[in-house]
Amino acid sequence: MSLQINLDQPPFSFLAEKELAWLKSRLDLVFFPAGEVILEVGQESPGIYILYKGVVEETDDDDQVFTQYGTEDMFDVRAVLESSCKHRFTAIEETLCYLLKAKDFIQLLNSSDDFSVYFRTDLGTQQSLVEQRGGEVSEFILAQVDGDTMRTPVYVTGQTTLVRTARMMRDEKHDALLVRDGERRGIVTGSDLLHAVLNDSLPKETRVAEVACFDLITVEEGEYLFNALLKMTQHQIERVVVTRNKEIVGVLELMDMLSTFSTHSHIVAMRIEQARSIEDLVIAAGRLESLIANLSGQGVKVMAIMSLITTLNRRLIRKAFELLVPDKLNSQVCLLVLGSEGRGEQILKTDQDNAIIIRDDHVKDALMPSLQKLHQVLLDFGYPRCPGGVMFINDAWIHTAGEWRARVGKWLNNSSPEAMMNMAILMDAEPIAGNSELFEEIRGAWHHESLRSSIAASWFARPALQFETPLTLLGNIREDHGAIDIKKGGIFPLVHGVRALAFEHGLYETNTFDRIDRLAEQEVLSKEVAQGLKDSLVLFLRIRLRHQLEKAEKNPGLTQQLKVSDLRSVDRSLLRHGLHRVKKFKQWLVSHYHLENL
């Protein structure tokens, strides 16, 4: 019979058709009246329950609600694998569950690798399994540089004449040849030859070694194609040399990649790089959003999108800065991006968070006209005005280096929530244009040994606890507010908690993932916790991005509200795990910073 249950989602979608059919034939149906305990603490579970209808609540010994389960959710895998139940499961509405007997479940685990990996691993792996299923098109970008993607190199010796080189290019149908000149290895391209002969009027008999470029840009075999693409973008080149343990093994051509790579990220990057006017930049900026939607739609991992978009955004702003601020002022100022942009975690444009540092002996009046223009351009790019006024056009966020240092000192002594907030904002700063040495000067102001375990660090951490983790809202119960604020509930406490630790330990990193890695290295966080936090943050960002993109189609504007019922059940269960992690982390922060009496 066809059971009316949706099993096309992970983890069941990892099963082959035959296994799935078998699974369906093994299901029993169990009914529980409202209020009935389904599984008691310590009880052995008869199997895995998959909710068909109704709501089940998971509580611990002290009757604290952990989470709720709704249609298509399942519980409790741990009780089956560990043969005893840690929590109590109660039907809080009339509930109908399919029951997969424990022995049948174990048999499925043994017969399917993906299926068992899903259950036996941590959140991160579960997630990447889910993401993998999201789309197959992306495989190209996530593919690695290997024999399939690169061309075998064709060599000429440095003694070869330009004429012969040109002929070889035509015969071999290669637009670039590698040049072997003694110990040196270089590359020569068709356009190199063109410039040599036509622009520099070199005779055709010139040795190719004289025009070749010996400063090779390389990628190591096995790197992501995506990274190779970023390198090409950065250096404005169209091919990179592939190495294996420093030995050249091939050439990776942009054209080869582009023919498969349909998302145009490179084209956007090129447009930014080649822009000659602000108008050109505005057009390029307009393309970023569709690029993101495109990448996300193709199932590209959110981390990869984030790093690509961060690179592109910064280039965009830097380019605008270069176009608007006269060269002679360039070394006098430093443009900082703050907030999520500074941490490199912004995907869709939120708001302008930025600041300016001016060299001590300089006055800001000379700068203001160009900065006003820059601000306007950023608006045109699609960065809305910051509602909190954290923008360099406001007096509070444009100072000389000396003034900045004084301000930071004042904030740290003051400990008011406002001062701490400002500190938090500045801590995520990343210099992206102008003279970055100016930033180095002021950064020292909050990298004191004395700040560790000081009262300031503890005040700094406080806001992380400000919002309740919205765990119990999951499930389908409270339809009237079946939405959670993913930023307040998940992202902010995590990011801010990590920021507080970074502050305490004087880390230079601004990216949350980098900070977590560093904190794990310094053994502030255990490896497990660190991994859990990173997985959770990726998850939040991924779910939020998808949600925001979907919302944007109907009504633009960035929402932080996730409608729980819109989520796939698998995301709902991952989200639950993620929020669990955040809750634990908050508890850890409380004891770490002695915030019990809040």
Minimum CB–partner distance for residue 97 and another protein (Å)? 10
Q: Which of 27, 80, 312, 525 binds another protein (CB under 8 A)?
A: 27
33 scored as a contact of another protein (CB under 8 A):
yes
Q: What is the rounded CA–CA span in Å between residue 195 and residue 199? A: 5
Minimum CB–partner distance for residue 1 and another protein (Å)? 4
Minimum CB–partner distance for residue 501 and another protein (Å)? 50
Q: Which of 7, 13, 20, 30 binds another protein (CB under 8 A)?
A: 30
- One-letter amino acid for residue 516 of the chain: I
Q: What is the rounded CA–CA span in Å between residue 60 and residue 23? A: 30
28 scored as a contact of another protein (CB under 8 A):
yes
49 scored as a contact of another protein (CB under 8 A):
no
Residues 6+ apart with CB under 8 A from 329: 366, 367, 370
Q: What is the rounded CA–CA span in Å between residue 34 and residue 54? A: 9
The tokens of 571 are what?
Answer: 């995301």
4 scored as a contact of another protein (CB under 8 A):
yes
Residue (of 131, 123, 128) closest to 578 by Cα position:
123
Strands 37-39 and 65-69 come out as: unpaired
The tokens of 537 are what?
Answer: 């943050």
450 scored as a contact of another protein (CB under 8 A):
no
Rounded (10°) angle between helices 512-521 and 527-554: 170
**Total residues binding another protein (CB under 8 A):** 20
- One-letter amino acid for residue 4 of the chain: Q
Q: Which range in 23-31, 182-190, 292-300, 522-530 contacts another protein by CB under 8 A? A: 23-31
Q: What is the rounded CA–CA span in Å between residue 330 and residue 398? A: 15
Minimum CB–partner distance for residue 103 and another protein (Å)? 11
Q: Which range in 61-69, 91-99, 123-131, 175-183 contacts another protein by CB under 8 A? A: 91-99
The tokens of 504 are what?
Answer: 């305490």
Tell me whether residue 28 or residue 528 sits nearer to another protein (CB atom). 28
The full DSSP string for 367-433 is: THHHHHHHHHHHHHHT-PPPTT--STTSGGGEEEHHHHHHHHHHHHHH--HHHHHHHHHHHT-EEEE
Q: Which range in 25-33, 346-354, 549-557, 564-572 contacts another protein by CB under 8 A? A: 25-33
Minimum CB–partner distance for residue 33 and another protein (Å)? 6
The tokens of 353 are what?
Answer: 């968070």
Q: Which of 7, 20, 26, 249 binds another protein (CB under 8 A)?
A: 26
Count of beta carbons in the 10 Å neighbourhood of residue 568: 16
- One-letter amino acid for residue 570 of the chain: V
Q: Which of 12, 32, 118, 492 binds another protein (CB under 8 A)?
A: 32
29 scored as a contact of another protein (CB under 8 A):
yes
360 scored as a contact of another protein (CB under 8 A):
no
Minimum CB–partner distance for residue 53 and another protein (Å)? 6
Q: Which of 80, 99, 109, 519 binds another protein (CB under 8 A)?
A: 99
451 scored as a contact of another protein (CB under 8 A):
no
Tell me whether residue 7 or residue 96 sits nearer to another protein (CB atom). 96
25 scored as a contact of another protein (CB under 8 A):
yes
